[in-house]
Structure 1
Amino acid sequence: MKIQYIKYALLTTVFALGSCSDDYLETIPTNQTSPENVFKTTETIAMAINGLAKIMTTQHIGQGYNGEGTIKLYFGEYPGNNFRKDVSASIANLENIENTNSSLNAYPWHYYYMLITNANEIIAKVDGADGPANDKKYLKAQALAYRSFAYTMLVQIYGNRWIDSNNGETKSVVLRLSPSDSKELPLSPLKDVYTQIYKDLDLAIQLFNESAYKRDATKNYFIDASVAHAIYARAALNRQDYTVALKEAGLAKKDYPLMSTTAYKAGFANPTSEWIWSSYGAADEQLHYFSYGAYMGYNSNAGAVRNTPSRISKEFFETLSDSDIRKGLFIDPTGYPVADYNEDTGLTVTKSQFNKDIRAKYPDIQGDAKTAAYMQVKVKNNVNPGVMHLNHFRSSEMFLIEAEALHFLGRDGESAKVLEALTKGSGRDVNYTCTKVGKDLFNEIVKYRGIELWGEGFDWFDYKRWNLTIEKKMGSQGGNASPTFAKTFTPEMNNKWTWRIPKAESDYNPNI
């Protein structure tokens, strides 16, 4: 095993442990090299790029924070509209948005600026490294893509939704673009951050094309031009720049056909034909009980799964067609007496027929794990407690971006056809047709984005972007939220769902 050098953001330089699976994340032993030597050759810079990939699946600032997986669950799903999990009211109920001392408040800032600071070092120094010119181009392109991805995620959390930003004039995050930048930088207007994201991605795509870089088909964790286009599409959608979003989504998905229904039901643990970018996962590259899979995989032996299974909201589930295979990825209580399960938590009675039938159908559920109505069986682990590849972009998301962009560009007929291509054309629901227009079509996009991307980290981000109310109801109200979580969040609440800048940054940076 080797020790990976990583220059961390903000206050300090530290070293992160990294093991090796074949050539995955080949790292630099810190007892054999200086920080200057990291950027000496294209070979060592390639190792630094791998370090960026490793940051996305590494534990940061404390237990339970697991790179990108934490963003997906703590920020994207737990506080969202369609996800139910009876853990941490402070997370699910948005209690820390304005608490600048909270570790939850600080985590995305720390994590994404860690990516940005490391990417900045590579961008600044790769041109001066020894090695082939083409290698320098695609390594720089990857670093630019990482930086643009990090800023895209940061502004969704710490920036206003675009419609609340006075056309991008409101302040958002700090634009750190060079290792030589002063620490004392002010917050930048939201529009300036998006301008930089676009600029980075334009250059990254240019460099990928000039270098003719082709990612090894088995290495989905590397970034190529398709990934850059996917980041571009997501950023443009958040900025309500629908023409750009439509164009970039089409470019991102063109080499990633939608997966088969068999692959769709296989557990979302391994790259399929439609995975554009993911993080690597193997038994010797894992975070054990603090990984995304240890919180989500229905077959996990982790306490976070055994005690509190993840569920879909009852209200949302009941809107889905019985012919849609995605509805079948959740435990349907239809036909079982209410006495067999708790209407709020969904938890089944141990000796009930409902519990027995769930276990018979899914024998890989741990013997001491609780089962529940509306429990998800979409995501499962390859190896316990949480080993799996972690998806970041799928071509399905690109279809949905196209549908939304077309709708807001006034092209509802084309938008409906995209929804049909995603749902009927892929076999996900062979009976699906769409003839809706206007507000009805928008609601259809909301619905199908909700079921297609459920559990993958989009829910809260989408509701914030759409300026829609999140409403969670108890069983007595027709829902399945536990009383602690049965709350309504309107778009103007909690600083308009805009996280405050962490105290760790304002203490460090006098211009905040």
Structure 2
Amino acid sequence: MKNRYIIGGLAVALMTPALVSCGDDFLSEEPITNISSVTVNTSEEGANAAVTGLVRQMQRQFTDLKNGNLNASGETFFANIYGEALGPDNNVGEATNYMRTGIKPANFRYATGWWPSWMYKYCYSIIGSANSILTNLSEDPTNDNELWLKASALTMRAHAYTRLMQVYAPRWIDSNNGEKHCIVLRIKSGEPNEKQFNTCNEVYDQLYKDLNDAIAYFEKSSKKRGNQLFFVDENVARGIYARLALLKDDYQTAQKMAHDARQDYTIMSEKDYLSGFSTQNDEWMWAPAMDPLGIYYWGFGAHYACNGHYVKSWGYSSSMQYSLYKHFSETDVRSQLYFGPLCVKHAPEIAAKYGVTEEDFFNPNNYSNQTYGISITGSGSSPKGKNKAMWDFIKEYGKRFASLRPEDIKGIYLTNSKGLSIGVQYKFQGLPDGYTSCWPPYMRAGEMLLIEAEAAYHNSDYSTTVSCLTELMAKRDPNYTIPATSGEALLDEVKLQRRLELWGEGFNWFDYKRWNEVIEYKAFDKNNIENMGSYPTTVAATYQPDFMNGWRAAIPQAEFTYNTMADPTLVGQ
């Protein structure tokens, strides 16, 4: 058998620049490199190098996509800027600031803007790399390394296309049963850029085939990833399959794949849930490599962890909206990770020390409008009165629940002079590595459990839905009682627990789009504290499900520049 070669792949620094350029010609998939080829058809070293180069694109810096202070550093960034910043449940600090200064959700429909182009470039960089690997492999691989390599490339390509479908395709109920056009399907390295948009059905059919093949190849290969969770495996492939099927309203497939994907994993304990989402545990199915990877201050932790360097310096603190927070019970472990009235019950000795009561959170006189939202700690580094009491409470409460570096005198939020919102988070905590690194998982068993629950409901398998919720909440709230065992109230409970469980992990907007629900960015209303929001008034707005062509991002102009066959009218442009 002839040797087959993968170009690059020894590291992301080799693979990605070689396969996808950083300019407007990002659609070109021809490798341009002078890096030596690596024989991979029989070499375990070569297979590892190629897959490492592919999967570590999910952590690399995309310097050409950087916009101001927004740090385009792979999957966690893109999941956050799309999945969280556009959703209604999370005031995502620096992203909210960009919306405040004029980059509104409506910019999603500007084909020349950065918001539509970011996810497009990111996903096609992964697709181009995966295609370059697949082109050099047998149609029917037989040895362990080729089986594992082909399965990994197919899985990664399917993941990237799933992201594209989330952002650029119509939701299934708007797709004319899958016959509407959406994106360009590119599955061969070196094929011409000149291609017409594919229908949703064509894309889903290809990805279903790819994932079925990937699972089969993984199962045939004796090569396993071990504890290197940044690699993909058959369970990750099933998890991506479940996500994809949920997009297609294919609930039978979603339920089965989610169930099968999570069988080797357990729901994390209370201790693990409070540990900062920065170290792997038995629930994590797919996760970034736990090292800075040359990203350092571009990483998720520096910008979004509660003790992140930029969070402390610039005041970009992320917070859960009170409209969601108020659904927590006192005994729900997750409620400990967001600053709100329940913190008085969680830490009564600290509250008493500073004279803070639950009623203080509902006193409109304690709130003030700040640059990035509504503050309960006033502004400036030396607040006074009740704002100072809240400020001191937040600092000490955070030290109680977060893993801080002992030598870090700044602590959590300490130098934040912009003020802090109710609902400010402690969920993501930076490690003591000099860069406050924090790499939340790409996929975990809790997500699969919630997909299974939602899909089972739509399959009228209510007992499974109840069982899934019960399994999850047994680790979250010892006093939990399910509010309904059938009907719309049961589905509402699944959605609510999904929003609470996966907050900040990159799902919120994708879910709201899929659910076809209204998205509201709430501002503070002193006359309606119970339904308060924390968005700046310049951001606050209500968006109907049909907004922006059904929340479909515009296909970037670069596609039409380099692909004259693509008809913009087919995708509503």
- TM-score in same-fold range (> 0.5): yes
SS class of match (2:15): strand
Q: Structure 1, residues 106-157: CA drift from partner, whole Å, max 9, x if none?
A: 111111011011101111213399x981111011100110001011110110
Matches within 5 A, 1:276-315: 276-283=285-292, 285-303=293-311, 306-315=314-323
Structure 1 residue 355: Cα displacement? 0.5
Matches within 5 A, 1:439-454: 439-454=488-503
**AA partner of residue 453 (structure 2):** A
Unaligned 5+ runs, structure 1? 16-29
Instruction: Note if 1:257 corresponds to 2:266.
Output: yes
Partner of 1:355: 391
Contact 2:340 2:422 in 1 (8 A): yes
Distance 1:10 1:45, change over 3 A: farther
Q: Distance in 1 between matches of 2:223 and 2:268?
A: 24
Contact 2:376 2:390 in 1 (8 A): no
SS class of match (1:471): strand
**AA partner of residue 479 (structure 1):** M
Instruction: Note if 1:183 corresponds to 2:193.
Output: yes
Structure 1 residue 59: Cα displacement? 1.8
Structure 1 residue 417: Cα displacement? 2.2
Q: Structure 1, residues 360-386: CA drift from partner, whole Å, max 9, x if none?
A: 122331431253321011111113544
Contact 2:79 2:506 in 1 (8 A): yes
Instruction: Note if 1:342 corresponds to 2:368.
Output: yes
Partner of 1:117: 128
Distance 1:214 1:434, change over 3 A: farther
Instruction: Note if 1:418 corresponds to 2:471.
Output: no
Partner of 2:354: none
Q: Structure 1, residues 162-186: CA drift from partner, whole Å, max 9, x if none?
A: 0100111111111101114221111
Q: TM-score, normalised by structure 1?
A: 0.90
Contact 2:229 2:287 in 1 (8 A): yes
Structure 1 residue 291: Cα displacement? 2.3
Contact 1:246 1:405 in 2 (8 A): yes
**AA partner of residue 269 (structure 2):** S
Partner of 2:154: 144
Partner of 1:323: 331
Q: Distance in 2 between matches of 1:485 and 1:65?
A: 22
**AA partner of residue 368 (structure 1):** T
Distance 1:244 1:132, change over 3 A: closer
Matches within 5 A, 1:39-118: 41-60=43-62, 61-63=64-66, 64-84=71-91, 85=93, 86-89=96-99, 93-118=104-129
Distance 1:488 1:251, change over 3 A: same
**AA partner of residue 505 (structure 1):** E
Q: Distance in 2 between matches of 1:428 and 1:319?
A: 12
Larger CA deviation: 344-353 vs 488-497 = 344-353
Instruction: Note if 1:135 corresponds to 2:168.
Output: no
Q: Structure 1, residues 223-267: CA drift from partner, whole Å, max 9, x if none?
A: 111101100111111111000001000111000100110000001
Contact 1:42 1:126 in 2 (8 A): no
Instruction: Note if 1:507 corresponds to 2:507.
Output: no
Structure 1 residue 274: Cα displacement? 0.7
Q: Distance in 2 between matches of 1:501 and 1:362?
A: 42
Instruction: Note if 1:155 corresponds to 2:165.
Output: yes
Q: What is the aligned residue count?
A: 493
Contact 2:452 2:468 in 1 (8 A): yes
Structure 1 residue 413: Cα displacement? 3.1
Q: Distance in 2 between matches of 1:13 and 1:175?
A: 16
**AA partner of residue 126 (structure 1):** L
**AA partner of residue 10 (structure 1):** L
SS class of match (1:247): helix
Contact 2:283 2:446 in 1 (8 A): yes
Structure 1 residue 338: Cα displacement? 4.1
SS class of match (2:550): helix
SS class of match (2:189): coil
**AA partner of residue 359 (structure 2):** G
Q: Distance in 2 between matches of 1:65 and 1:438?
A: 42
Q: Structure 1, residues 424-473: CA drift from partner, whole Å, max 9, x if none?
A: x2244443334342211121111111000000000000000000001122
Q: Distance in 2 between matches of 1:384 and 1:172?
A: 43
Contact 1:213 1:224 in 2 (8 A): no
Unaligned 5+ runs, structure 2? 1-9, 21-25, 342-357, 400-410, 567-573
Contact 2:38 2:46 in 1 (8 A): no
Structure 1 residue 97: Cα displacement? 1.3
Q: TM-score, normalised by structure 2?
A: 0.81
Matches within 5 A, 1:27-42: 33-35=35-37, 41-42=43-44
**AA partner of residue 232 (structure 1):** Y
Contact 1:265 1:329 in 2 (8 A): yes
Distance 1:247 1:380, change over 3 A: same
Q: Distance in 2 between matches of 1:157 and 1:308?
A: 25
SS class of match (2:423): coil
Q: Distance in 2 between matches of 1:422 and 1:227?
A: 20
SS class of match (2:392): helix
Structure 1 residue 416: Cα displacement? 1.9
Q: Distance in 2 between matches of 1:262 and 1:458?
A: 23
- Aligned residue among 224, 233, 236 for 2:245: 236
Structure 1 residue 41: Cα displacement? 4.7
Q: Distance in 2 between matches of 1:506 and 1:466?
A: 30
SS class of match (1:88): helix
Distance 1:40 1:230, change over 3 A: same
Distance 1:128 1:162, change over 3 A: closer
How large is the Cα RMSD of the aligned pairs? 2.4
Distance 1:102 1:372, change over 3 A: same
Contact 2:182 2:200 in 1 (8 A): yes
Q: Distance in 1 between matches of 2:421 and 2:255?
A: 39
Structure 1 residue 308: Cα displacement? 2.2
Partner of 2:457: 407
**AA partner of residue 251 (structure 2):** Y
Instruction: Note if 1:246 corresponds to 2:255.
Output: yes
Larger CA deviation: 393-402 vs 293-302 = 293-302
Structure 1 residue 325: Cα displacement? 1.2
Q: Distance in 2 between matches of 1:260 and 1:213?
A: 30
Q: Structure 1, residues 320-364: CA drift from partner, whole Å, max 9, x if none?
A: 222211122100143325444437523513241011011112233
Q: Distance in 2 between matches of 1:41 and 1:185?
A: 35
Structure 1 residue 91: Cα displacement? 8.5
- Aligned residue among 449, 453, 475 for 2:524: 475
**AA partner of residue 201 (structure 1):** L
SS class of match (2:79): helix
Distance 1:193 1:442, change over 3 A: same
Contact 1:168 1:190 in 2 (8 A): yes
Larger CA deviation: 361-370 vs 63-72 = 361-370
Contact 2:76 2:439 in 1 (8 A): no
Instruction: Note if 1:10 corresponds to 2:27.
Output: yes
Contact 2:313 2:415 in 1 (8 A): no
Larger CA deviation: 88-97 vs 501-510 = 88-97
Distance 1:313 1:508, change over 3 A: same
Q: Distance in 1 between matches of 2:564 and 2:312?
A: 40
